[in-house]
Amino acid sequence: MGSANHFLGRWIVRLILAVQAVAVVYPLLWTIYSSFKTRTDFYRNPWLLPSRIEFSNYYNALIKSKFFESFFNSIYVSVLSVALIIILSSTTAFILTRYKFFGASFIHKIMMLSLFLPSVFALIPTFLLMMELNLLNKLSGLVLVYAAGGLPMSIFILAGFFKHLDTSFEESALLDGSSATNTYWKIIFPIAMPGIVVIGILNIISVWNEYPLAMAILSSPEKKTVAVNIVDLSTIQRFATDWGALFAGLVIAMLPVLIIYFIFQNKLIAGLTAGATKG
Amino acid sequence: MLKKHELVFILSFLTPTLALFGIFTLYPYFNGLKMSFYEWSGFSDVTTFVGLDNFKRMLDDDIIPMTLKHNLYIMLAVPIFSFIFALFNAVAISQFKLKESKWYRALLFVPYVLPVTITAILWQNMLGGDYGLVTSILGWFGIHLDYPLLGNPDTALWALCVPMIWSVVGFYMVLYLTAINNIDESLMEAASIDGASQWDKVRYITIPLIWETIRVTLVLFILGAFNYSFALPWIMTDGGPARSTEFIATYMYRVAQNDHEYGYATAIGVFIFIIATGLSLLSQILTRKSKLD
């Protein structure tokens, strides 16, 4: 192994990694700058930068294609389902790590097992359940489905977190006569904040991105989430050939995810990969 | 032994979770299993028990083996390429300690967090007809296509693999990288001193020592082949052209949505459940370390 060899290897490796990075970044950049192009500009050469910046695409996407409404639907669904997930998974993870009782390990096991099931099977049965409960085409139905779906992974991550938490604070609070419920919300929950943030971000992203269930459950245009609406927009623009509005819609749909990703990158990657391997 | 007030506390914290999980996660699985023995159009309250008829019908349904063949192709192609890229990147980043490594990690992970609908539309445009970037790049190499990649029954299935691989390489790369970083560095140094080539080190040190992580990713690859083969083809090709990208999951949804045959659709779902879970278990049994040593 000569050093020249090593030097060459280093640059070959670099080249291969850089090509992959370009393959990731270029389609995203192309989408962003194409969203500022006029139709004729786009047809003249779809790969060049815009000759002048055109904002009307954003107006068309937001107003004409109801992106405003679907954006708020997505925020509504994300906030409510993630709030539910945080409350329910943190309390459950706490109980499962602190108390030994009949059925505790069974509950834990069945939740973990559900992480390794082919979720696509649940698509039609969940649709039928929504029909039974009169929750079809309702955002509240989607909130409940997402909340339930996010629980196992979140409980798993938080249980790992609670296991390593110092118990001396809660013990002294309990000795001072604070009720278990109070102790949890006033002392333990705040200490668990770093773990809560991780599951919060993980779930916001997965709820924001979810497509099959939202597509199956929501039918009227004003109820749709961003992930569903962008597909409708894509189909419409393909025939109307208004590419600018489609690219503007894509930018609106992916921007929140990209912003969250680049702010919380390390936490997010750690959470996503920890959840996958240690189950 | 738990005291009464402890029991009340535990129940107050557990009941909402169990109720939500039971109704919206467990119940659909069991109800799906039950529905697969019934015939139901979804419109009336009349459900008819038909025993194993839905499953017998699958045996005579020519589309099922065709979709399974497509699933098998992507279950081989997507994991093989994802694994090679992910492991190569992970080994490269950990071995060469490039100063821009953080950037590769940050950027290559991005597709994994993008909404699947965005990935689908992006790649529909990249692989698309007259102006698709991929078409242009192939053109530079002198390959001129008569049909767009996604519009040709001979190429559509393979073209679909591109976004499937694109979206997961970064994820698996980070999984392998985390495992590789736990390997004792002195092992690698000792191997280098003994004159081991880079390939030898990967083959005899890295892969055996991250074997447990690779096993877990096998399950994720198998489940992914079923879960990811719904949204992407549904949006990008709608199963076409000429059913060349119809997968078992897209067919299941089509049977429910277009034909309103919910009993038959859930039976197909049960079948997906059985093969996906069966293959996952099989992958774990076959790769147990004691068997390989």
Which tens digit of pLDDT belongs to each residue from A224-277?
999 999 998 888 877 777 788 888 999 999 999 999 999 998 888 888 777 666
**Is A241 in CB contact (< 8 Å) with chain B?**
no
Q: What share of chain B in percent tops pLDDT 70?
A: 97
> Residue B169: pLDDT above 60?
yes
What's the pLDDT at A45?
Answer: 75
From the list A74, A258, A78, the residue with the least C-alpha distance to A150 is: A78
Cα B244 from Cα B281, distance rounded (Å) = 29
> Does residue B102 lie within any of the structural domains?
yes
The mean pLDDT value of chain A amounts to 88
Which chain A residues touch B162 with a CB distance below 8 Å? none
What's the pLDDT at B71?
Answer: 94
Q: Which two tokens stand for residue B268?
A: 């197909």
Range of B285's domain?
58-180+210-292
What's the pLDDT at A130?
Answer: 95
pLDDT tens for each residue of B215-231: 989 999 998 888 888 99
Cβ contact, residue pair B31, A184, below 8 Å: no
Q: Which two tokens stand for residue A104?
A: 């505790």
Cα A211 from Cα A206, distance rounded (Å) = 10
What's the pLDDT at B56?
Answer: 93
Contacts (Cβ under 8 Å, ≥6 apart) of B226: A118, A120, B71, B248, B249, B272, B276
What's the pLDDT at A161?
Answer: 87
Phi, psi of B136 (to 5 degrees): -65, -45
> Does residue B10 lie within any of the structural domains?
no
What's the pLDDT at A70?
Answer: 92
> Residue A1: pLDDT above 50?
no
pLDDT tens for each residue of A180-231: 888 889 888 998 998 999 999 999 999 999 999 999 999 998 999 999 999 9
User: B137 pLDDT band (50/70/90 cuts)?
Assistant: confident
Phi, psi of A211 (to 5 degrees): -120, -55
pTM: 0.91
**Is A14 in CB contact (< 8 Å) with chain B?**
yes
Cα A227 from Cα B272, distance rounded (Å) = 25
The shortest C-alpha distance from B168 to chain A (Å) reads 11
Q: Shortest CB distance from B13 goes to which of A9, A91, A114?
A: A91
| Amino acid occupying residue B5 | H
Q: Which two tokens stand for residue A123?
A: 């698509």
Task: Identify the DSSP state of A99.
Answer: -
Residue of B nearest to A174 (CA): B6
Cα B293 from Cα B290, distance rounded (Å) = 5
Phi, psi of B292 (to 5 degrees): -85, -30
* DSSP per position, chain B: ---HHHHHHHHHHHHHHHHHHIIIIIHHHHHHHHHTTEE--SSSS--EE-TTHHHHHHHH-THHHHHHHHHHHHHHHHHHHHHHHHHHHHHHHHHH--TTHHHHHHHHHHHHHS-HHHHHHHHHHHS-TTT-HHHHHHHHTT---SS-GGG-TTTHHHHHHHHHHHHHHHHHHHHHHHHHHTS-HHHHHHHHHTT--HHHHIIIIIHHHTHHHHHHHHHHHHHHHHHHHHHHHHHHTTT-STTTT--HHHHHHHHHHTT--HHHHHHHHHHHHHHHHHHHHHHHHHT-HHHH-
Residue carrying the six token digits 């079809």: A136
Cα–Cα distances in angstroms (integers) from residue B34 to residues A110, B31, B269, B275, in the given order: 20, 5, 11, 18
Cβ contact, residue pair B235, A145, below 8 Å: no
The shortest C-alpha distance from B272 to chain A (Å) reads 7
A161 or A21, higher pLDDT: A21
Residue of B nearest to A88 (CA): B17
> Residue B290: pLDDT above 60?
no
Bond prior to B115 in cis (omega within 30° of 0): no
> Does residue B199 lie within any of the structural domains?
no
> Residue B293: pLDDT above 50?
no
Q: What share of chain A in percent tops pLDDT 90?
A: 49
Cβ contact, residue pair A181, B121, below 8 Å: no
User: B75 pLDDT band (50/70/90 cuts)?
Assistant: very high
Cβ contact, residue pair A211, B231, below 8 Å: yes
- Mean pLDDT, rounded, for B31-46: 85
Residue of A nearest to B105 (CA): A21
Q: Shortest CB distance from A124 goes to which of B5, B21, B32?
A: B32
> Residue B177: pLDDT above 80?
yes
What's the pLDDT at B141?
Answer: 83
Which chain A residues touch B24 with a CB distance below 8 Å? 126, 129, 144-145, 147-149
> Residue B262: pLDDT above 50?
yes
- Of the listed ranges A39-53, B160-174, B244-258, the one predicted with least confidence: A39-53
Cα B29 from Cα B222, distance rounded (Å) = 19
What's the pLDDT at B172?
Answer: 95
User: B266 pLDDT band (50/70/90 cuts)?
Assistant: very high
Task: Identify the DSSP state of B260.
Answer: -
**Is A231 in CB contact (< 8 Å) with chain B?**
yes
Which chain B residues touch A245 with a CB distance below 8 Å? none
**Is A177 in CB contact (< 8 Å) with chain B?**
no
Please answer whether residues B116 and B231 qualify as being in contact, where contact means their C-beta atoms are separated by less than 8 angstroms: yes
- Mean pLDDT, rounded, for B123-138: 77
Residue carrying the six token digits 């993630």: A82
> Does residue B198 lie within any of the structural domains?
no
User: B1 pLDDT band (50/70/90 cuts)?
Assistant: low
**Is A234 in CB contact (< 8 Å) with chain B?**
yes
> Residue B131: pLDDT above 70?
no
> Residue B51: pLDDT above 90?
no
Cβ contact, residue pair A254, B109, below 8 Å: no
> Does residue B245 lie within any of the structural domains?
yes
Cβ contact, residue pair B13, A151, below 8 Å: no
**Is A84 in CB contact (< 8 Å) with chain B?**
yes
- Mean pLDDT, rounded, for B1-21: 88
A102 or B158, higher pLDDT: B158
The mean pLDDT value of chain B amounts to 89
pLDDT tens for each residue of A61-74: 888 778 889 999 99
Q: Shortest CB distance from B28 goes to which of A84, A125, A147?
A: A125
Q: What share of chain A in percent tops pLDDT 70?
A: 96
**CATH number of the domain bearing residue B280:** 1.10.3720.10
What's the pLDDT at A277?
Answer: 62
**Is A128 in CB contact (< 8 Å) with chain B?**
yes
Cβ contact, residue pair A148, B273, below 8 Å: no
> Residue B291: pLDDT above 60?
no
Cα A167 from Cα B82, distance rounded (Å) = 43
Q: Which two tokens stand for residue B292?
A: 């390989």
- Mean pLDDT, rounded, for A25-37: 90
The shortest C-alpha distance from B154 to chain A (Å) reads 23
From the list B282, B266, B170, B176, the residue with the least C-alpha distance to B223 is: B282
**ipTM of predicted complex:** 0.90
Which chain B residues touch A208 with a CB distance below 8 Å? 115
Cβ contact, residue pair A111, B21, below 8 Å: yes
Of the spans A56-60, A148-152, B46-50, B185-189, which averages the highest pLDDT? Answer: A148-152
Q: How many domains does chain B have?
A: 1
> Residue A112: pLDDT above 60?
yes
Q: Which of A88, A124, A266 to mutate to test the interface with B (most CBs of B within 10 A)?
A: A124
Bond prior to B241 in cis (omega within 30° of 0): yes
Residue B39: strand pairing partners: B48
